[in-house]
Amino acid sequence: MSEKARAARNLFLSENFGVLSTISVDIPGYPFGSIVPYCVDEQCRPIVYISHIAQHTKNVLADPRVSLIVIERKPDSDDVQAEGRVTYIANAQDIGAGEPEIRAKYFRYFPAARQYEATHDFAFFRLELVRLRFIGGFGQIFWVEPKEFLIQNPFSFQEEKGIIEHMNRDHSEALRHYAGGVGAVMTGIDSEGFDMLVAGKKRRREFDSPVFTTEQARQAFIAMAKRPA
């Protein structure tokens, strides 16, 4: 993986919401932006859960061309233009009811969103990457192609689910340590790191080097548990 692709993925995987820009139906030809949460699928493609009565959903159903802008959040920074950011240019695809694994993963990251299922009005959309623009700071401006950015998660849905359940059930103190001494719930893992919910907010920890098997992940967790929080 190139350094620019790694930097773009790290930013994208660390955040969980962005500005979704769609092509307006009501004002033809003009962009329409709105805030949406997202998680990613097994290839780092964002999944959004949006209502059919929302303006952006009506726009997507009429024209699937979208972009998702994700900005690095640094609480101690006063200059938003100095932050890293990714513009993910894509085609939105309605997933329908054919991928229950996506539904389960999204609700791990956003448990409060499960209440919307009862309305029968929300739907999952996958954003299929066309091209990505990454800005990491002064002089760090790159286009990143899909083949560089989209990397298969080495853990299947069942493997990931097993690791998450094991960590949450048997290693809550380790998760507390990884989260800096506060309670945390693990929500996802991939080759580059793992995600937790801490007081309802996403927090990501990266591995020192990529992991590709459950044993490598176990060793990485052990090594991290031995370090100061």
pLDDT tens for 23-78 read 999 999 999 999 999 999 999 999 999 998 999 999 999 999 999 999 987 766 66
SS (H, E, C) 195-218: EEEECCEEEEEECCCCCCCHHHHH
pLDDT tens for 1-36 read 788 899 999 999 999 999 999 999 999 999 999 999
Alpha-carbon distance of 223 to 202, in angstroms, equals 22
The DSSP call for residue 51 is E
Residue 134: which H helix or E strand, with range?
Answer: strand 122-137
Question: What is the average pLDDT across 144-162?
Answer: 96
Q: How far is CA 107 from the centre of its chain?
A: 13
Pairing status of strand 193-198 against strand 65-71 = unpaired
Q: How many CB atoms lie within 10 A of CB 209?
A: 9
Alpha-carbon distance of 146 to 126, in angstroms, equals 14
Question: What is the average pLDDT across 156-174?
Answer: 96
- 3-class DSSP state for residue 150? coil
List phi, psi (to 5°) of 16: -145, 15
Alpha-carbon distance of 43 to 112, in angstroms, equals 24
Domains belonging to the chain, first-starting first, are 3-149 (2.30.110.10), 157-225 (3.20.180.10)
Pairing status of strand 17-23 against strand 46-51 = unpaired
Mean pLDDT of the chain: 92
